[in-house]
Amino acid sequence: MGRLTTHVLDTATGHPAAGLKIELYLLDGGTVHLKTIVTNADGRADGPILEGAAFLRGHYELRFHAGDYLKASGAKLTDPAFLDVIPLRFGIADPGQHYHVPLLLSPYGYSTYRGS
Protein backbone atom coordinates (compact mmCIF):
# COMPACT_ATOMS: atom_id res chain seq x y z
CA MET A 1 0.00 0.00 0.00
CA GLY A 2 1.36 3.42 -0.93
CA ARG A 3 1.77 6.22 1.53
CA LEU A 4 3.27 9.66 2.07
CA THR A 5 5.55 10.33 5.03
CA THR A 6 7.92 13.10 6.10
CA HIS A 7 10.29 14.13 8.82
CA VAL A 8 12.20 17.31 9.60
CA LEU A 9 15.73 17.55 10.93
CA ASP A 10 17.16 20.80 12.29
CA THR A 11 20.67 20.69 10.83
CA ALA A 12 21.76 23.75 12.84
CA THR A 13 21.21 21.91 16.13
CA GLY A 14 21.58 18.31 14.95
CA HIS A 15 18.18 17.40 16.41
CA PRO A 16 14.74 16.47 15.09
CA ALA A 17 12.48 19.49 14.52
CA ALA A 18 9.75 18.80 17.08
CA GLY A 19 6.59 20.93 17.01
CA LEU A 20 6.85 22.05 13.38
CA LYS A 21 3.49 22.54 11.64
CA ILE A 22 3.12 20.98 8.17
CA GLU A 23 0.16 21.36 5.81
CA LEU A 24 -0.59 19.09 2.85
CA TYR A 25 -2.40 20.32 -0.26
CA LEU A 26 -3.59 18.59 -3.43
CA LEU A 27 -2.91 20.89 -6.40
CA ASP A 28 -4.84 19.14 -9.18
CA GLY A 29 -8.13 20.93 -9.97
CA GLY A 30 -7.30 23.84 -7.66
CA THR A 31 -5.58 24.00 -4.30
CA VAL A 32 -7.30 21.75 -1.76
CA HIS A 33 -6.13 21.52 1.85
CA LEU A 34 -5.98 17.84 2.85
CA LYS A 35 -4.35 17.73 6.24
CA THR A 36 -2.37 19.60 8.89
CA ILE A 37 0.05 17.84 11.23
CA VAL A 38 2.62 18.86 13.83
CA THR A 39 5.87 16.92 14.10
CA ASN A 40 6.44 14.82 17.20
CA ALA A 41 9.58 14.66 19.38
CA ASP A 42 11.32 12.66 16.63
CA GLY A 43 10.54 15.34 14.00
CA ARG A 44 8.01 13.04 12.31
CA ALA A 45 4.28 12.74 11.84
CA ASP A 46 2.72 10.14 14.14
CA GLY A 47 1.73 8.13 11.06
CA PRO A 48 1.49 8.48 7.29
CA ILE A 49 0.29 11.88 6.15
CA LEU A 50 -1.64 10.26 3.33
CA GLU A 51 -2.35 6.59 2.57
CA GLY A 52 -4.82 4.09 1.21
CA ALA A 53 -7.68 5.25 -1.00
CA ALA A 54 -6.82 8.92 -0.31
CA PHE A 55 -3.29 8.47 -1.72
CA LEU A 56 -3.78 9.30 -5.40
CA ARG A 57 -1.64 10.05 -8.42
CA GLY A 58 -1.19 13.80 -8.79
CA HIS A 59 0.56 16.99 -7.75
CA TYR A 60 0.91 17.89 -4.09
CA GLU A 61 2.44 20.55 -1.88
CA LEU A 62 3.77 20.28 1.65
CA ARG A 63 4.04 23.61 3.47
CA PHE A 64 6.58 23.50 6.27
CA HIS A 65 6.08 26.34 8.77
CA ALA A 66 9.80 26.75 9.40
CA GLY A 67 9.72 30.37 10.59
CA ASP A 68 7.42 29.64 13.53
CA TYR A 69 9.49 26.57 14.46
CA LEU A 70 12.80 28.45 14.27
CA LYS A 71 11.48 31.33 16.39
CA ALA A 72 10.13 28.92 19.01
CA SER A 73 13.42 26.97 19.06
CA GLY A 74 15.36 30.08 20.05
CA ALA A 75 17.39 30.25 16.85
CA LYS A 76 19.10 33.59 16.28
CA LEU A 77 17.14 35.09 13.37
CA THR A 78 17.12 38.33 11.42
CA ASP A 79 13.99 40.48 11.35
CA PRO A 80 12.31 39.51 9.16
CA ALA A 81 13.61 35.97 9.27
CA PHE A 82 15.17 34.64 6.07
CA LEU A 83 12.88 31.57 5.97
CA ASP A 84 9.21 31.41 6.82
CA VAL A 85 6.83 28.94 5.15
CA ILE A 86 8.66 26.52 2.85
CA PRO A 87 6.42 25.19 0.05
CA LEU A 88 7.57 21.90 -1.43
CA ARG A 89 5.78 20.78 -4.60
CA PHE A 90 6.13 17.21 -5.82
CA GLY A 91 4.34 14.61 -7.89
CA ILE A 92 3.00 11.17 -7.02
CA ALA A 93 3.31 9.02 -10.13
CA ASP A 94 2.66 5.62 -8.54
CA PRO A 95 0.29 5.60 -5.56
CA GLY A 96 1.33 2.01 -4.84
CA GLN A 97 4.75 3.19 -3.65
CA HIS A 98 6.05 4.83 -0.49
CA TYR A 99 6.94 8.50 -0.98
CA HIS A 100 9.04 9.92 1.84
CA VAL A 101 9.66 13.68 1.55
CA PRO A 102 11.98 14.84 4.35
CA LEU A 103 13.21 18.37 5.06
CA LEU A 104 16.68 19.24 6.34
CA LEU A 105 16.38 22.70 7.85
CA SER A 106 18.55 25.51 9.22
CA PRO A 107 17.78 29.23 9.67
CA TYR A 108 19.37 30.07 6.29
CA GLY A 109 18.77 27.05 4.09
CA TYR A 110 17.02 23.76 3.52
CA SER A 111 17.16 20.70 1.31
CA THR A 112 14.93 17.77 0.49
CA TYR A 113 14.97 14.52 -1.46
CA ARG A 114 12.79 11.51 -2.08
CA GLY A 115 13.68 9.12 0.69
CA SER A 116 12.60 5.62 1.53
Average pLDDT of 20-42?
97
Q: Is the pLDDT of residue 1 over 90?
A: no
Q: pTM for this structure?
A: 0.96
Core vs surface per residue 101-110: b (16+ CB within 10 A) or e: bbbebbbeeb
Nearest Cα neighbor of 110 from 19, 18, 9, 14 is 9
Q: How far apart are CA 66 and CA 57, in angstroms?
A: 27
Amino acid in the structure at residue 35? K
- Cα–Cα distance between 105 and 76 in angstroms, integer? 14
Q: Is the dihedral of CA 77, 84, 106, 10 positive or negative?
A: positive
For 64-105, the pLDDT digits (tens) are 999 999 999 999 999 999 999 999 999 999 999 999 999 999
pLDDT at 90: 98
